[in-house]
Amino acid sequence: MTRQSESGRPIEPVYGPDTQKGWDPAEKLGDPGSYPFTRGVYPTMYTGRPWTMRQYAGFGTAAESNARYRQLIAQGAKGLSVAFDLPTQMGHDSDAPIAHGEVGKVGVAIDSIDDMRVLLDGIPLDQVSTSMTINAPAALLLLLYQLIGDEQGIPADRLTGTVQNDILKEYIARGTYIFPPKPSLRLISDVFRYCRTEIPRWNTISISGYHMAEAGATPAQEIAFTLANGVEYVRTALAAGMAVDDFAPRLSFFFVARTTILEEVAKFRAARRIWARVMREEFGARDPRSLMLRFHTQTAGVQLTAQQPEVNLVRVAVQGLAAVLGGTQSLHTNSFDEAIALPTAKAARLALRTQQVLAYETDVTATVDPFAGSYAVERLTDDVEEETVALMRRVEELGGAVGAVEHGFQKSEIERSAYRIARETDSGERVVVGVNRFTLDQEEPYEPLRVDPAIEARQAERLAALRAGRDRSAVDTALHAVREAAGGTWNILVPMKEALRARATVGEVCDALREVWGTYVPKDAF
């Protein structure tokens, strides 16, 4: 019986020369590190050194998260990935009424430079690459990071890392937006310009398909809508007067890795090929780095199960293998207990050990793109590419990524896919081990990590002390400058940095922007 891929295409029982679409290895594959980068963005890939093992972590207070980061670094992690709580992601201070019950729950609470100082205490920012999963207030967290680097005596040109800063996918799938699209895109282009001169080694955006995939997007939808968002960001930067090769080398991407290894490998290869072509042919990029689709991968949280959670160790290993075979530049492997709660220290360590086994005990790092020329993978790569290009064309017909968002196109397509997956799971057509097959009569007890609810009160106390001890006049002057910049055309990161230096809070700066820009309300909310 012919099975279907996650993108809905048939997977043939056998592939051979007669099942190919006339691909020419010289044209479509090329060499690793060369256009169109199907085989990887670097000539040697992992044969010189493995990918960056970047474990995503953050919970409770800055002090608790700092302790977890130190543990991960001591255990061999080469990069940090910071998770922020929902109030921080939405630009609210921990003592705001809307933040009640959410402080420190899904990430760390960062209200001010004081919290960022504690979060990064003892971490050498010139030796560790840091990724921050933050979008609407991304510029603020990046500036706080730079300010702490200043305090550590580290020049900004030695700071390395990534800020997610991808607002379009928030309108499509995730929902942690603050401002309407136009000022949000202006803020992103200001980050591009600021980092080019101030923090040149920083990746200014991580254009994310991960959250769309978690919401139900197929592999083809995931990369189609992600690359379409990337096109919109490039156009925004060009419209702001930047040259494509001045900012494009610092663009990066973020994808999911599912358990379906073959299609995931094909997805990553197709994405590289499409992006290289778009950047060269549509935008005229000449710097080879502008054509490279460099990406971080996280294993699929949506595929983890609360039932028989230890089975997730197997799922994560398979998903991590898919990411590595697909040529990722960095990887986060989920902890086996994340379907239940925040990961325990032991679960986080096992997740990191999974990557280390892949890197040092298997032979997948011995050669570049080991699936190249595989009849199955090359055909799947072509299939994913064909469907992705068709979806990107439809987005263009609707006016680009923003126009398609306003039509609700991406959201409706993802919801349709999510419904299909749920229906197949409920019917048993899609097997989920431990959920609809191979179940237990009674689950074994498991003690999850729990966040202390008293964190909210402690953060409120810290904020009260901060406000009592700072120069209120200096804060008011700095926030006034932020409002003026928001209504003008100059780079808003400059007054924002000064406001944060004066100990204005994240919420106060975001409130100043809300006064000028307003907030985004989706049409379907009425």
Q: HEC states along 239-259?
A: HCCCCHHHHHHHEEEEEEECC
Cα 37 to the chain's mean position, in Å?
Answer: 21
SS3 444: coil
**In sequence order, what DSSP letters do the residues of 15-38 get, joined into one string?**
--GGGS----IIIII--TTSTT-T
Give the CA-trace dihedral at 213, 219, 221, 224, to 10 degrees.
110
**Which burial class, exposed, middle or buried, applies to 281 when counting CB atoms under 10 A from its CB (0-12, 13-18, 19+)?**
exposed
pLDDT in tens, the chain (526 residues): 578 899 888 899 999 888 877 666 556 688 999 999 999 999 999 999 999 998 888 888 999 999 999 998 999 887 888 999 999 999 999 999 999 999 999 899 999 999 999 999 999 999 999 999 999 999 999 999 999 999 999 999 999 999 999 999 999 998 999 999 999 999 999 999 999 999 999 999 999 999 999 999 999 999 999 999 999 999 999 999 999 999 999 999 999 999 999 999 999 999 999 999 999 999 999 999 999 999 999 999 999 999 999 999 999 999 999 999 999 999 999 999 999 988 888 999 999 999 999 999 999 999 999 999 999 999 999 999 999 999 999 999 999 999 999 999 999 999 999 999 999 999 999 999 999 999 999 888 888 778 888 999 999 999 999 999 999 999 999 999 999 999 999 999 999 999 999 999 999 999 999 999 999 988 764 3
| 279/85 Cα distance (integer angstroms) | 35
87, HSE (Cβ side, Cα atoms, 13 Å): 29
- Lookup: tokens for 367: 């050669």
The domains of the chain are located at 472-521
Taking each helix axis from N to C terminus, what angle separates 181-198 and 400-407, rounded to the nearest 10 degrees?
150
Cβ(74)–Cβ(67) below 8 Å: no
The answer to whether 430 and 78 have CB atoms below 8 angstroms apart is: no
Please give the single-letter amino acid code of residue 301: G
d(CA 141, CA 204): 12
* Token pair of 28 as six digits: 């479509």
Q: Which two tokens stand for residue 251?
A: 């663009």
β-strands 202-203, 10-11 pairing: unpaired
Beta strands in 5-88 (DSSP E): 10-11, 52-57, 79-83
User: Strand 10-11 relative to strand 3-4: parallel, antiparallel, unpaired?
Assistant: antiparallel
